[in-house]
A and B are shown apart, each in its own frame.
Chain A
C-alpha cells in the first residue's frame, strides 16, 4: 500500500498541507496595511511584492500570475486581497476565485483610508480564519504531493550527500505517482546533457539546452565571467570551483527519473512525475515561482548553510555538512551528514527525508515556519514605467 498523509481537501480537488488565510497585497502601497492586518490576526500570512505599480507586458503578467498562483495554492484556505482601488484588486481576485476558495477584496480608496482598510481587513480576516479552522485533515494518498527541490549555500557536500539523499526521496515520490519540480536551469550548466537525455519529449530536451544557453548568453551579453556570481563566494569557500561542478551536484537532488514536462516560472505542472521549472538561481525568487506553481512543500538542500524558506510552502532544510548540522542546528530539519562522517547509506538518508516529508505534510512544522524564515521574492523581467 502506498503511503498517506493527512491533508486539507480543497474545492478544486487539490490537497493542502497547511490551512492559512492569505492577506494578498496587490501592490507596494498596500503592503503596510497587509502587515498590520496579519499582525492582528492569527493564522494569516502576508503575500506581497515591493512593486506592482507601473509594470507592463510580460513582466506585469508574471507578477500577477505569481501572486495569484501563491494565493490559489492548496495550502491557502481563503484570501483577502488588498489593493489601492477595488478595480486593480479584482483582476487578481478573479484569478484566485477559479479555485473555488473564498476571496474578499478591499480597496484603500473605497475604504476611505489605510487605517479604515486595516480595520475592515482585520474583521474580514478573522472571519475567514474562523471558517477555515472548521476544516479537518483527512487521509490523502502520497501521490497528491508536489514537492519542489531547491538548493542554496551549496558546497561540495551538497553534491556528495544532501542532494543525492533528496534525489532518493524524489525517485520514491515519482514512483509513488507524485510530482517533483527541479528548477534553476543556470545551475544545470555543464550537466544539461544528462538532464536533456532524460526528457520524455525531445522538444523538452531541446528546451533544457535552450534555457541553459539563455543564461550562458546573458554572461556574454554583459561581458562578464559568471564566476564569483555563480558559483558564489560562499560556494567557492565551500570547495566548489566552477559552475559546472556545482551543476553536476545540483541536478542530483531531482533524482534519476524521466523528465515529463518543462514549465515556465510560476506555472503549475500539468503532469505527474519529474518536472523542470525555469527559474532564476536566486533561492527566494526560485522558491516563490515553485510555490506559485503549487508545490505544497519545498525541500531545501544546503551545504554551507542558508536559513531562508518560502511562505505558504513549508520549506524543509536538509544538510550533509557535519559543520553546518552542528552550527546551524536550529535551521536544519534533516541531518544527513552521517553520509560523509559515519557511513550512513544514501538509501537510509533518503528514508530520513521521506519520513520527515510525510510528517510535515501531515502538519509537523519546519524550522523555517517556527523561526519565520520566510521571504517572498517575485522575479522582475522588465523595468517599471
Chain B
C-alpha cells in the first residue's frame, strides 16, 4: 500500500496516507532517486511532511504550486501544517 503522495517534482512536501510515528523511516522518491526521510513528528492521516529543507519565508509547494510560505525553518521529516506555514492570500490582518 502507498504510504505517501508527491504530486509534482517541484514539491517540497509529501502527503501521508497513513499515520506516521516519530522516528519512522519513509522511502521518498526525490529527483529520480529514493531518499530515506526520518519522521520528526506524529503525522496524522492526510497531513503533510517536509521532504526538503526550508528556511523561513520559503515557498511551500504542493501540486507544483505555492500553497503558502514557511513561517519558520522546516527540516525534512517535520510535520508541515498551520504551525509552520502561513497563507500569503486573504491576509487582511497584516495588510
- Given known contacts A220-B95, A223-B93, A340-B17, A243 and B47 CB-to-CB distance under 8 angstroms: no
CA distance A227 to B66 in the complex (A): 16
Chain A residues within 8 Å of B88, by CB: 244
CB–CB B47/A190 < 8 A? no
CB B38 to nearest CB in A, in angstroms, measures 20
Cβ-neighbour of B47 out of A160, A239, A249, A323 (below 8 A)? A239
CA distance A323 to B46 in the complex (A): 11
CB–CB B81/A160 < 8 A? no
A225 within 8 A of B: yes
Cβ-neighbour of A219 out of B15, B60, B68, B90 (below 8 A)? B90
Chain A residues within 8 Å of B82, by CB: 227, 236, 241-242
Chain A residues within 8 Å of B2, by CB: 340, 343
CB–CB A160/B80 < 8 A? no
CB–CB A244/B93 < 8 A? no
For B1-43 the 0/1 string (1 means CB < 8 A from A) is 1100101000000010100000000000000000000000000
Chain A residues within 8 Å of B7, by CB: 160
A192 nearest in chain B by CB position? B89
CB A94 to nearest CB in B, in angstroms, measures 41
B84 nearest in chain A by CB position? A241
CB–CB B85/A238 < 8 A? no
Chain A residues within 8 Å of B44, by CB: 239
CA distance A343 to B1 in the complex (A): 8
CB B84 to nearest CB in A, in angstroms, measures 9
CB–CB A155/B46 < 8 A? yes
| A to B CB contacts below 8 Å, 10 in the list | A156-B15, A159-B63, A194-B65, A221-B92, A226-B92, A241-B60, A242-B67, A243-B89, A341-B17, A343-B2
Binding site for A on B (CB under 8 A): 1-2, 5, 7, 15, 17, 44-48, 60, 62-63, 65-68, 80-82, 85-95
Closest 9 CB pairs of A and B: A226-B90, A219-B92, A245-B67, A239-B46, A225-B93, A242-B87, A156-B46, A219-B90, A239-B47
